[in-house]
A and B are shown apart, each in its own frame.
Chain A
Amino acid sequence: MSELSKEKLLEAYRMMRTIRDFEERVHDEFAKGGIPGFVHLYAGEEASATGICMHLTDQDRIVSTHRGHGHCIAKGVDVIGMMAEIYGKQTGTCHGKGGSMHIADLDKGMLGANGIVGGGPPLICGVGLTHKMRGTDGVGIAFFGDGASNQGTTLESMNLATVWNLPCIFVVENNGYAEATSSEWAVSCDNYADRAAGFGMPGTTVDGHDFFAVYETAGEAIARARAGGGPSLVEVKLNRYFGHFEGDAQTYRRADEVKQLREEKDCLKIFRKRVVDANLLEHSDLDKIDEEVAALIDEAVQQAEAASPPAVEELLTHVYVNY
């Protein structure tokens, strides 16, 4: 981990803080009725997207899920455009016609959040095949959850990636619940990394509350894929702070579950303590980022609220793309 310079540590904290503040703010604004449609929030899972995407460049592609805001931010998608997109405004990343579950920015290698559970893994095989045929050292990352881990599309994709030895990493973000169903009830092979062996790829499990653990593990999986080592599976065990969707009463969770997680397992708190205790960063360095991110999110909301929705005559544009 000695390769994590002070600048990199600051970058990691800024990324995680931006995701957290973005999601907390969307939570608040959605409750006020300012945001149309559904939103699924990533708060609590920041170390996963950050620890993985910090290894990527724009040529590397990711596919995400319905809970995709964190992945977008970690992949470098503009926060101002994202907020406007969630508000359904013309200035949004997808001109306000995608919304929360379909934010995409191909220039940044973000192939899209995806409303279909298990919809991302097949796409990442296409990414892997492209990189392989073009002879680049690019990789593809498919983020999906414990619910999608049971989908045939996911399992078929893992098989295909192995058969073709594609530079793909399958990242199971296991937050313990597929909507309201505990993974303890719904995943036959509760240690998801076990499934990797069935497809002939290595599988490993990592603590998703610890940025450093995720960063190290992702670094090795990605380096392996870049070097032609083929696909691998990383199970990131983590927790979400909000419901499956905004408005979810979460009757399936213990009353104090999230409170306890926020106190004991918060990735931002853990990160701050570690870097300050190690005398690598000062509290003031991190406080400054907190202030800057808060201002950025304020600005994003203000711009989103002020922007116009797409014009009626724009509704059928941007549906198909010619290559």
Chain B
Amino acid sequence: MNPIPESTSVGIIANPYSSRDIRRLVSSASSIQTVERANIVERILVTLATFGIDKAIMMPDKSGLAAQLIRNLESRSHLNRAASVDLEFLDIPITSTVTDTLIAGRIFRERNVGAVIVLGGDGTHRAVARYIGDIPMVSISTGTNNAFPRFHEATLAGLALGIYLKGLVNTESMVRRNKVIRVTVNNNIEDLALVDLAITSDRWVGARAVWKMENLKELYLAFCEPAAIGMSSIGGLLDPVSRKEMSGLKVLMADPVECPMTLNAPVAPGLFHEIGILDSSRIEIGVDYEIESAHGVLALDGEREIEFSAKDEVIVRLEDDGPVTLDVEATIESAARSGVFVNHRTAGRSGEHKFRMPESLCFG
């Protein structure tokens, strides 16, 4: 994994449908407006422009996000330099489904972009990860639980991306390889989860999101942090596993009255639920685990995706060759410690500098 990219073009996948599912009704989950999503992309473009990165390729959509972004760029060109970036929208059929994200990810890999900016939650990142190979993702959390993407202001994510693409610091700490959970059904369906694979007793994929915790039977977690929202919080409060640890966690659950222990977990924003824990154990990298439920639904990173029955063989495996992400904090910190941002002035004149914030960024 070479930390210095060959390409300085940027791919952008901004999921217009994240944070709109049924959890708006059953919890206090927020909804990121289309206008704000366009603003976020604009702020990234502003920052990229300051680095002289002049090419971005974006997934198109029919939900108004691209249209709003274009309006922003046209109407604010006097305020900032976002419009100076050559923004290309992929010429693909728009299905307004996850297929758009999958196709965009595949094309970005074919075109060898330097990085892919992802606006979405856990489900969006999972979809992007399926086809982009080792191209680093830069995460902007606009989903519901956002256990995988860390929260970053878009301007700072763009700043880290610019540092990375321009090679202003050369450190392995900028990019991180993530773990991944891979699941196969009868050796022919293959899918993945970046945070959690849940097995519920639901019959149907239905409204996709998992919010009825009484139906939750098994969890396989690539990592689980104590300060997380969503199903991974169950593992995070029980037996935390960091993103770097070379193991994961398996948790078996049942009705709290039947279990030796329970915990109260924040399973969605503003929604705590008492979870009955039957058992938990670490899972190892590269080992096949056969699930214990006879039938139900497989939920990947919070979305019910695959219905299975007793005749299906479902195998779960934790692996260490998941997608690559750019560590925004580490990158900016590394650049700061290297003096990238500092302009040393001598006798009232500008001296040598590696990078200087132009006025357009300071006042835009």
Contacts and interface: CB of A to CB of B under 8 A. Distances in A.
Interface of A: 1-2, 4, 184, 187-191, 193-194, 196-197, 202-206, 210, 212-213, 215-217, 220-221, 224, 232, 237, 274, 277-280
Contact of A216 (B16, B17, B24, B206): B206
Contacts of B289: none
B22 A216 contact: yes
B265 to A, nearest CB: 20
Contact of A215 (B20, B201, B206, B309): B206
Contacts of B208: 213
B205 A212 contact: yes
A212 B204 contact: yes
11 contacts: A2-B201, A190-B64, A194-B35, A203-B24, A204-B21, A204-B24, A213-B208, A215-B206, A220-B25, A278-B203, A278-B307
A217 B64 contact: no
Interface string B23-58: 011100001011100000000000000000000000
B330 interface: no
Interface in B302-316: 307, 309
Given A190-B34, A191-B63, A1 B202 contact: yes
A277 B309 CA distance: 9
Given A193-B31, A212-B206, A205 B20 contact: yes
A196 B20 CA distance: 11
A2 B295 CA distance: 12
Nearest to A205: B20
B201 A217 contact: no
B207 A217 contact: yes
B33 A197 contact: yes
Contacts, number: 88
B62 interface: yes
A274 B62 contact: no
Interface residues of B, number: 28
Given A191-B17, A191-B64, A203-B24, 8 more contacts: A1-B206, A190-B62, A204-B20, A205-B17, A212-B204, A212-B207, A220-B22, A274-B307
A54 B62 CA distance: 31
B171 interface: no
B215 interface: yes
A202 B268 CA distance: 15
A184 B22 contact: no
Contacts of B35: 194
Contacts of A274: 204, 307
Nearest to B20: A205
Contacts of A204: 20-22, 24-25
A196 B203 CA distance: 30
A274 B205 CA distance: 10
Nearest to A214: B207
A278 B310 CA distance: 10
B267 to A, nearest CB: 15
Given A191-B16, A194-B31, A278-B309, A202 B24 contact: yes
Contacts of A191: 16-17, 20, 34, 63-64
A13 B204 CA distance: 16
B202 A2 contact: yes
Contact of B25 (A1, A190, A221): A221
A184 B62 CA distance: 7
A232 B21 CA distance: 13
A274 B204 CA distance: 8
Given A2-B215, A224-B25, A280-B203, A203 B31 contact: yes
Interface string B343-357: 000000000000000
Contacts of A184: 62
A220 B25 CA distance: 7
Given A2-B201, A279-B309, A190 B22 contact: no
B280 to A, nearest CB: 25
The 4 A-B residue pairs whose C-beta atoms are closest, nearest first, are: A190-B64, A216-B207, A202-B24, A212-B204
Contacts of A217: 22, 25, 207
Contacts of B24: 193, 196, 202-204, 232
Interface in B210-226: 215
A189 B64 contact: yes
Contacts of B26: 220, 224
Contacts of B31: 193-194, 196-197, 202-203
Nearest to A215: B206
Contact of A232 (B17, B25, B33, B67): B25
Contacts of B206: 1, 210, 212-213, 215-216
